[in-house]
Amino acid sequence: MVTYIKSAKDPREYPAAKFLEIVFVGRSNVGKSSLINALFKTKVAKTSSTPGKTHLLNFFSWSDVDAYLVDVPGYGFARRPKTEREGWREMMEVFLQAQNRGQRLALLLIDVIREWQAEEEMLVDYLSWVHIPYVLVVTKIDRCRKDTLRKRMHFWQNCSFSSHPPLDLFFVSARTLEGCSTVYKYLITYARKIKYVQET
Ligand X SMILES: Nc1nc2c(ncn2[C@@H]2O[C@H](COP(=O)(O)OP(=O)(O)OP(=O)(O)O)[C@@H](O)[C@H]2O)c(=O)[nH]1
User: Any contact of residue 34 with ligand X (CB under 6 A)?
Assistant: yes
For residue 77, give Cα distances in angstroms to 30, 89, 96, 132: 11, 12, 20, 24
Using CB under 5 A, count the residues that bind Mg ion. 4
User: Any contact of residue 73 with ligand X (CB under 6 A)?
Assistant: yes
Residues 36-95 that bind Mg ion (CB under 5 A): 53-54
Give the shortest CB-147-to-Mg ion separation in angstroms. 30
Taking the C-alpha atoms of residue 156 and residue 167, their distance in angstroms, rounded to an integer, is 14
- Which residues are CB-neighbours of 55 under 8 A, at least 6 positions away? 73
Residues 170-199 that bind ligand X (CB under 6 A): 173-175
Give the shortest CB-112-to-ligand X separation in angstroms. 9
User: Any contact of residue 74 with ligand X (CB under 6 A)?
Assistant: yes
Q: Burial level of 95, CB count in 10 A (0-12/13-18/19+)?
A: buried
CA gyration radius, the chain: 16
Residue 140 binding result from Mg ion, ligand X, none, given CB thresholds of 5 to 8 Å by partner type: ligand X
- Which residues are CB-neighbours of 7 under 8 A, at least 6 positions away? 56, 57, 58, 59
Residue 44 CB neighbour total at 10 angstroms: 16
Stretch that binds ligand X, among 46-54, 121-129, 161-169, 187-195 (CB under 6 A): 46-54
20 vs 39 by CB, closer to ligand X: 39
Residues 100, 55: contact at Cβ < 8 Å?
Answer: no
Q: Computed from CA positions of residues 183, 146, 34, 86, in that sequence, does the dihedral angle turn out positive or negative?
A: positive
Residue 159 CB neighbour total at 10 angstroms: 15
Residues 75-134 that bind ligand X (CB under 6 A): none
Among 139, 156, 183, 190, binds ligand X (CB under 6 A): 139
Using CB under 6 A, count the residues that bind ligand X. 23
Give the shortest CB-190-to-ligand X separation in angstroms. 21
Give the shortest CB-65-to-Mg ion separation in angstroms. 22
Among 19, 22, 32, 110, binds ligand X (CB under 6 A): 32
33 vs 103 by CB, closer to ligand X: 33
Beta strands per DSSP E along the chain: 2-8, 20-26, 57-62, 67-71, 104-111, 134-139, 169-171
Q: Which residues bind ligand X (CB under 6 A)?
A: 28-34, 47-49, 51-54, 73-74, 139-140, 142-143, 173-175
